[in-house]
Amino acid sequence: MPGSLIQQGATVMCVHGGQAMPTVPSPAVTLDGLPAAAIGDPWTVVGCPGVLPPVPPCVTAQWVVGTTRVTSDGQPLVIQTGEAICTPAGTPLLPVLTQVRVTAT
């Protein structure tokens, strides 16, 4: 499914409200002058309050579904319609605000 590519600096949050950021963006592709994010790279989540026990706060996240036709350095890119899983909670990430000029499948 097509969607906007996600770049470093995009607003991506865990479902509990923590801010997620790519740890190693892909400098080979830039969007609005900022590096794109590849699905193979881990993300950090800060400020997640978590929920009542036994679910701990989100600490990291990994995108598991990204682009199928567009790659950077052989890696699929993170796409707004993709899927990510937070660790250790197992909940998704939610892209809130991304660039809108470049879409891919």
Residue 44 CB burial class (10 angstroms; 0-12, 13-18, ≥19):
middle
For 6-55, how does the pLDDT look when each residue is reduced to its tens digit (9 = 90+)? 999 999 999 999 999 999 887 888 988 999 999 999 999 999 988 777 77
CA dist 12 to 22, 46, 59, 95, 100, Å?
10, 11, 14, 4, 14
Rounded CA-CA distance 62/44 in Å is: 9
* Three-class secondary structure of residue 39 per DSSP: coil
Is the whole model's pTM more than 0.85, yes or no? Answer: yes
For 45-77, how does the pLDDT look when each residue is reduced to its tens digit (9 = 90+)? 999 988 777 778 999 999 999 999 999 989 999
The full set of domains in the chain, from first to last, is 3-104 (2.60.200)
